[in-house]
Amino acid sequence: MTIEKTLTGETLILKVIGRLDTSTAPQLEAEMNDSLDSAKDLILDFSELEYISSAGLRVILKAQKIMNKQGTMKLTGVNDTVMEVFDITGFSDILTFA
């Protein structure tokens, strides 16, 4: 997995490329821990995300809880396969998609 980070003012964009699973979720969590303090708006660009596991869902849920207190979080570019995981798990009801 590769993460491309862009911080513009108080907007943080994290583009996640590849697979977000048990082995890569800690990498995304570490990036968020390092970067979320200065962000008012978080955009997760999943346009090149191929797969997400429960470990990835946990990291996204943690980020959503943090951003609920300090700003907003949106997911963009979610493909049908990843969206199906969000739908089945009920995450599509609590996340914002753009």
| 6 vs 24: CA distance, rounded Å | 19
Distance of CA 53 to the CA centre of its chain: 12
| 87 vs 61: CA distance, rounded Å | 14
pLDDT digits (tens, 9 = 90+) for 58-95: 999 999 999 999 999 999 999 999 999 999 999 999 99
Task: Please give the pLDDT value at position 4.
Answer: 98
Residues near 8 by Cβ (< 8 Å), separated by ≥ 6? none
pTM of the model: 0.95
Task: Please give the pLDDT value at position 38.
Answer: 85
Q: Please compute, for residue 56, the number of CA atoms within 13 A of its CA located in the half-sphere on the CB side.
A: 20
What share of the chain has pLDDT > 90, as a percent? 98
Task: Outline where 16-97 has alpha helix (H).
Answer: 25-35, 54-70, 80-89
